Structure 1
Amino acid sequence: MCPRNVDPRIAINMDPTTPRQFDNAYYQNLQQGKGLFTSDQILFTDARSRATVNSFASSGNVFNANFVAAMTKLGRIGVKTARNGKIRTDCSVL
């Protein structure tokens, strides 16, 4: 659900270390227990995903290669149009 009347001036950086760079610092923050959301921090505390966090945190190249692969896969997903979906340009407007 999109919240109503959102103040556009309110923002919290998910990566306080390098908030304006696209890098792997987010994963390094998880290693240090600095995940913004509990659901994010669990990526490091859960044994099933800890190796991935460690891999991404230790190598920007590994993180970037995996990001490219994921975005390529997402690009193959069909985009909904006005006939079969509703696309919002502003989340606060119904």
Structure 2
Amino acid sequence: MCNTLLAACPAGVDPNVALEIDPVTPHAFDNQYFINLQKGMGLLTSDQVLYADARSRPTVDAWAANSSDFEAAFVAAMTSLGRVGVKTDPALGNIRRDCAVLNS
């Protein structure tokens, strides 16, 4: 996979070029990302660690094997995130203008 990535992103490439996180089914929402991890095809080292680490490998294996389980977990995660709420009152905390810097 490394040679594939190197060929897709040669030296001196425009920094605005993007690579697909899933080169197999890049335009589908499916569990192929996890199958790719099992094959050592993670785009980023941090992605591939999900399969290399014994703590997260069972989840990768489960979602690679069963797209319905992956989709159900995704729905549950998005539902939970949707309930977090958005701060709209500065009195309730720091609402950053720039995500990387606390407002002064």
- In the superposition, the TM-score normalised over structure 2's length comes to 0.70
**Secondary structure of residue in 1 paired with 2:60:** helix
Amino acid at match of 1:61: S
Partners of 2:89 and 2:24 in 1: CA distance: 40
Matched, 1:85 2:95: yes
State the identity %: 56
Which runs of at least 4 in structure 1 moved beyond 6 Å after TM superposition?
none
Relative contact order, higher structure (CA 8 A, sep 6+): 1
Partners of 1:87 and 1:62 in 2: CA distance: 37
Q: How does 1:1-94 map to 2 (within 5 A)?
A: 10-81=17-88, 83=90, 85-86=95-96
**Structure 1 runs not aligned, ≥5 long:** 1-6, 89-94
Name the CA shift for 1:71/1:48 in 2 (closer, same or farther; >3 Å).
same
Deviation at 1:78, TM superposition (A): 1.4
1:12-46, CA deviations, whole angstroms, 9 ceiling, x for partnerless residues? 10000000000000000000000001111000010
Partners of 1:87 and 1:56 in 2: CA distance: 37
- In the superposition, the TM-score normalised over structure 1's length comes to 0.78
Deviation at 1:8, TM superposition (A): 8.6
1:27-79, CA deviations, whole angstroms, 9 ceiling, x for partnerless residues? 00000000001111000010000000000000100000000000010001111
**Structure 2 runs not aligned, ≥5 long:** 1-13, 99-104
